[in-house]
Amino acid sequence: MAERITDETIEYVGILAKLELSDEEKEQAKKDMTNMLNYIDKLNELDTDGVEPMSHVFPVNNVFREDVVTNGDERERILANAPAKKDGSFKVPKTVE
């Protein structure tokens, strides 16, 4: 049987999740994810044809705010935890080449 989770999958998911795993961690992740998916396969025993997927448990709808400005200038508080900042902005590594 083909490998369910390949090295490429781990590599790909690492890019999506922005996680850099060591070789050892990759092996472990492969094993864990394969085990977990094999376990999750249990759901396939269940006939869910015609069942509406339920994302919210209660039928609560239409929760809105009125279009009224309630916030003032909170810049100092917003930047208080920034690992790096400059000129009232969050500082990050260059985003363009």
Partner 1 sequence: MDLMKLTAVELGKKIKAKEVTVKEAVEAAFARIEKMEGKINSFVTTDKEAALRRAGEVQKLIDDGTLTGPLAGVPVAVKDNMCTSGMLTTCSSKILENFVPTYTAEAVLNLERAGAVVLGKTNMDEFAMGSTTETSAYGVTRNPWNTEHVPGGSSGGSCTAVAAEECSFALGSDTGGSIRQPSSFCGVTGIKPTYGTVSRYGLIAYGSSLDQIGPIAKDVTDCAAILEAIASYDPKDSTSVKRDSYDFTSALTDDVKGMRIGIPKDYFTDGLDSEVKDAIMKAAEELKKKGAIVEEFDLSLVEYAIPAYYIIASAEASSNLARFDGVKYGYRTSEYEGLHNMYKRTRSEGFGAEVKRRIMLGSFVLSSGYYDAYYIKALKTKALIKQAFDKAFERFDVILAPAAPTTAPKLGESLSDPIKMYLGDIYTISVNLAGLPGITVPCGVDSKGLPIGMQLLGDCFQEKKIIRAAYSFEQTRSYVRCPICEEGGSLDE
Partner 2 sequence: MSKQYETVIGLEVHVELATKTKIFCGCSTEFGGAPNTHTCPVCTGMPGSLPVLNKQVVEYAMAVGLATNCKINQYCKFDRKNYFYPDNPQNYQISQLYLPICHDGGIEIETSAGKKVIGIHEIHMEEDAGKLVHDEWEDCSLVDFNRSGVPLIEIVSEPDMRSADEVIAYLDKLRLIIQYLGASDCKLQEGSMRADVNLSVREAGASEFGTRTEMKNLNSFKAIARAIEGERARQIELIEEGKKVIQETRRWDDNKEYSYAMRSKEDAQDYRYFPEPDLVPIVISDEWLERVKANQPELRDEKKLRYKKEYDIPEYDINILTSSKKLADIFENTIALCNKPKEVSNWLMVETMRLLKEEEKEPDDICFSPVNLAKLIGLIDEGAINRTVAKEVFEVIFREDADPEKYIEEKGLKTVNDEGALRSTIEEIVEANPQSVEDYHAGKTKAMGFLVGQTMKAMKGKADPGMVNKILLEILAE
Question: Which residues sit at the interface with partner 2, rule CB under 8 A?
Answer: 12, 15-16, 18, 55-56, 60-71, 73-75, 78-79, 86-96
Instruction: For residues 44 and 79, give the distance between their C-alpha atoms in angstroms, rounded to a whole number.
Output: 48
Sequence-separated (6 or more) residues with CB below 8 Å from residue 88: 75, 79
| Residue with tokens 């100092």, as numbered in its chain | 76
Axis-axis angle for helices 23-40, 7-17 (nearest 10): 100
In the list partner 2, partner 1, none, the entry touching 70 (Cβ below 5 to 8 angstroms by class) is partner 2
Cβ-defined contacts of 49-52 (< 8 Å, 24+): none
Subset of 14-73 contacting partner 1 (CB under 8 A): 14, 16-21, 25, 28-29, 32-33, 35-36, 39-40, 42-46, 48, 51-58, 60, 63, 65
Kindly list the residues in this chain that would bind partner 1 in the complex (CB under 8 A). 5, 9-10, 12-14, 16-21, 25, 28-29, 32-33, 35-36, 39-40, 42-46, 48, 51-58, 60, 63, 65, 74, 77-78, 80-84, 90, 92-95
